[in-house]
Structure 1
Amino acid sequence: MLDSLPLADIRAFVMTADHGSFTRAAETLGVSRSQVSKQVTALEKLLGVTLMQRSTRSLRLTESGHLLHAQCRSALGDMAQIVTLVREERNAMRGRIRLNSVGGPIGERLLGPAVHAFMQAWPEVEIELDFSSHRVNLIRDDFDIALRMGALEDADFIARPLATLSYVVVASPDYLSRHGSPQTPGGLQAHRCLVGSVARWSFRARHDPKSETQVDISAQLQCRNGHVLVSGALAGNGIIRVPRLYCDDAIASGKLKEILQDWQPADVPLSLIYHRERHRPLRTMRLIDHLVTWFDERNA
């Protein structure tokens, strides 16, 4: 019964009872008098009761009509209030946004300051910033926005490019003095390597940018945490491939040394992804635009 209750017919009945007239109810609803009368009759037929006693000059609610009118009038008022609240919430710059990102220097040095600046501009917006290392599913894991590295294959979301991450292949001077330095990407297979989430490393020859080669790496250590990879390389445990910003200070100080000088590790895109839903809360739209602008200004 509840699944088949027509809301439009209930509203027509409530308006007719409020005004005591089919004509006035029709004027309020912007429809014809005959349509309102048909809607009330259809509602009576569905419920199996008489809601109104009609005459040529007036109408009067039955006991069932009084009961339904009192309850439905209140319910319709509650629904109108809820709809108003939902619309206001969608257009208000307050509420929570759940944002997922890779952690480490990308989350801490790139994303963190951008989020802080947004919160200063919109202090009533709450940000839940998650640095989970696994590749989250926006819907299943209930995130509004996520930052992802690498190629994107899922067509169920919208992707906006934020930056291109430059990669380096490095090792400590101590490791290189003990094991030597590979001269080609293929030479990495004879070395101890510390690997993150990607075990196939891509390179382009610097003298021929169109050439590309890929090497499957056997990991002496596999860990998704960039800090652990860098600290492992600093300890002399092997060769790593990481975004340059992960170890630029260590390279500048000589604690890590770039190898394979004739080969450029493939750059990796950093993208912002979010749901394809048509009606996005204003706070989410503003954060998306803020992040795109923030990264664009710093890439210029």
Structure 2
Amino acid sequence: MANEGSFSRAADKLGIGRSAVSRSVQKLEAQIGARLFCRTTRATSITREGELFYQSCRPGVDRIMQALEKMRDLREGPPCGRLRISAPHGFGRKVVAPLMTEFRARFPAVALELLLEEQTVNLATDGIDVAFRDGRLDDSQIIAKQLIPMQMHVCASPKYARQHGLPLSVDDVATHSCINQRLASGRLQCWDFKVNGQPRRITPEADIVFNDPSLAMQAVLADQGLAQLPAYQVSEALRNGKLVACLEHVAPDDRGHYLCYLSREQLPKRIRAFVDFMTTSIRALDFSTVELRAHSSMQEEVALP
């Protein structure tokens, strides 16, 4: 109003009615106890008190207008700004981090910060924009988009299989050397199976325990025993023969890799671009295990000591 010089021009710029502008000014004058504008039937002019009030408010108003303009740029311009991303250590190292290079090449104005942590983060209070999560999700307060199923494989090295055989049933696991992982909660990881259509969980006695999945994988490759590991970690080693899988007929099928964020409404372009890119890129990765199940008869031959 102070800039436009009349209620009508101010109303036109704001896209509201002249009476709404007049009522707002009257309410403000009542709140501060001073007349801000002199009004006549022919003209409207700012008072001395109005000028003082305007000059005091102007820096704040300018900052608000700049903030609104920046928000408009974020919404309508190319993706930009900073993204804080959380992921489990294994999935973050093996899957998310390698894809970040291509994402940055496509969207150079978006800065990325990847935090690897096993504990479930609170997106609202921890300042996380996007979180990758594994397993089963029960949090109804977030948007959880399944990227791919989380396939789990009980694996061993060929040398271990030749020397000790492989388990043919879940109960046989107890007769083998096992490598397990300590979760962020302090518990040992349970091994999940589906037997006769029903879920079954065991926590095998472990000879070696790590709190990092890549170390568990290294121990399996070093002929130290069996471990249950996700497909994104072991699919390549299984295909090239560095590892063999067993118990594929009782592998679980109710887990997934998820990409999580707080809301679909007014999603910043940088988050939408990241979600779309990661969804497409991760689903295009080859973690297929069709050929593993097709060769189950070969694995049973290896299972015999």
TM-score class normalised by the smaller sequence: 0.7 to 0.9
1:280 aligns with 2:267: yes
1:192 corresponds to: 177
Normalization by structure 2: what TM-score?
0.75
Q: Is 1:128 aligned to residue 113 of structure 2?
A: yes
Match of residue 134, structure 2, among 135, 142, 149: 149
Deviates more, 1:216-225 or 1:159-168: 216-225
Q: Determine if the alignment matches structure 1 residue 103 to structure 2 residue 89.
A: yes
- Structure 1 residue runs without a partner (length 5+): 1-14
Gaps of 5+ in 2: 289-305
The residue that corresponds to 1:118 in the other structure is 103
> Helix, strand or coil: the match of 1:115?
helix
Are residues 287 and 46 of structure 1, via their aligned partners in 2, closer, same or farther at CA, if it must alter by over 3 Å? same
CA distance in 1, matches of 2:9, 2:239: 81
Amino acid at match of 2:214: H
The aligned runs of 1:28-67 (5 Å cut-off) are 29=14, 35-54=20-39, 58=43, 61-67=46-52
Output the CA distance in 1 between the equivalents of 2:94 and 2:225.
25
Q: 1:196-237, CA deviations, whole angstroms, 9 ceiling, x for partnerless residues? A: 3463323245xx6x3553323233333342221122223443
Q: CA deviation at 1:286?
A: 1.1
- Distance in structure 2 (CA, Å) of the matches to 1:234 and 1:161: 30
Contact persistence 2:94–2:232 (CA under 8 A): no
The structure with the larger Rg is 1
Aligned to 1:230: 217
Mapped to 2, the partners of 1:173 and 1:253 lie a distance apart of: 11
- Residue 297 of structure 1 is aligned with which of 284, 291, 295? 284
Query: Does the C-alpha gap of structure 1 residues 180 and 276 become closer, same or farther in structure 2, counting only changes over 3 Å?
Result: same
Superposed counterparts of 1:210-225, under 5 Å:
210=197, 212-225=199-212
SS at 2:168's partner residue? coil
Q: 1:191 to 1:103 in 2, by over 3 A?
A: same
Distance 1:231 1:25, change over 3 A: closer
Which string of whole-angstrom CA distances, capped at 9 and with x for unpartnered residues, describes residues 175-216 of structure 1?
A: 5577664332023234432223463323245xx6x3553323
Which residue in the other structure is 1:202 paired with?
Answer: 192
SS at match of 1:219: coil
Out of 250, 259, 268, the residue aligned to residue 264 of structure 1 is 250
User: TM-score, length-normalised on structure 1?
Assistant: 0.76
Q: 1:80 aligns with which of 44, 60, 65?
A: 65
- Counterpart residue type for residue 99 of structure 2: A
| Cα deviation 1:239-271 (Å, max 9, x = unaligned) | 21112443455546665443446x432244112
Contact 1:194 1:222 in 2 (8 A): yes
Q: CA deviation at 1:149?
A: 1.4
Task: Give the fraction of aligned pairs with identical amino acids, expressed as a percent.
Answer: 30
Quote how far apart the aligned CAs of 1:94 are: 1.9
Q: Structure 2: how far apart are the matches of 1:177 and 1:30? A: 79
Aligned counterparts of 1:30 and 1:251: Cα–Cα separation in 2: 64
